Every structure is written in C-alpha cells, then in structure tokens.
Amino acid sequence: MHCALFKKVFNLYYDGFRNMRLGKTLWLIIALKLFIMFAILKVFFFPNYLKTHAEQGHEADFVATQLLGKP
C-alpha cells in the first residue's frame, strides 16, 4: 500500500515535470535566480558581518562594543 502511494506521488512529480511547457522556462529562471543569489551575491557581496568581524563565541562582546560605543 505504501509502495503504491509512493509510486503515485512519484508519478505525479515525474509526469508533471516531464510534461511541463511554461514551467520549464520558469524553473530555468528560478535556478538562475538562486544561482545568482547564493553563488554570487551571498558569497561575494553579503558575508555575515559578525562572522567575519567577531571572534566566534564573542559576538555579544563585539556587538556591545558597537552599541555602547555609539552614544
């Protein structure tokens, strides 16, 4: 029974993806967008500021210096 259900779910996705027309273009755009976001923007332009500037485990001290130094 579980096997039949699994097969049905698999076929739903398999046939769905195989018969896509407009969907193929949309998936291509999604993939391109995710690549730009995660492989380019995140890696080269949006590093985690605290990870790169604060010592690991001492983020609170770093932020305290930032916040309490500003008044």
Partner 1 sequence: MLDIDAVGINWARAQFALTAIYHWLFVPLTLGLALIMGIVETIYYRTRNVFWRDAAQFWQRLFGVNFAMGVATGIILEFEFGTNWSNYSWFVGDIFGAPLAIEGIVAFFMESTFVAVMFFGWKKVSPGFHLASTWLTGLGATISAWWILVANAWMQYPVGCTFNPDTMRNEMTSFLDVALSPFAINKFCHTVTSSWIIGTLFVVCVCCYYLYKKRDHQLALQSLKISCIVGLVASVLAMHTGDESAYQIAQVQPMKLAAMEALYNGGTDQSLTGIAWVNPCGQPDYENEQEPPLRVAVPYALSFLATHDIHGYVPGINDILRGDYTNAAGQRELSTAEKIARGQKAITALQEYRRLKAAGSQDAGYLAGLSEIIQTNMPYFGYGYIKDTADLVPSIPLCFYAFRIMVGLGTLFILFFLVALFVLYRKDITQMRWLQLLGIVLLPLGYVASESGWLVAEFGRQPWTIQDLMPTWVAVSEIPSSSVMLTFLLFVVLFTGLLAVEINILCKQIKRGPEYSNANA
The residues that touch partner 1, with contacts defined as CB under 8 A, are 8, 11-13, 15-17, 22-23, 25-27, 29-30, 33-34, 36-37, 41-42, 45-50, 53, 59-61, 63-64, 66-71
Please report how close the Cβ of residue 51 comes to partner 1 at its closest, in angstroms. 8
Quickly count: other Cβ atoms within 10 Å of residue 55's Cβ: 9
State which residue, 3 or 52, has the beta carbon closest to partner 1: 52
Please report how close the Cβ of residue 27 comes to partner 1 at its closest, in angstroms. 7
CB 26 within 8 A of CB 17: no
**C-alpha triplet 27, 32, 33: angle, nearest 5°:** 95
**Which DSSP symbol is given to 21?**
S
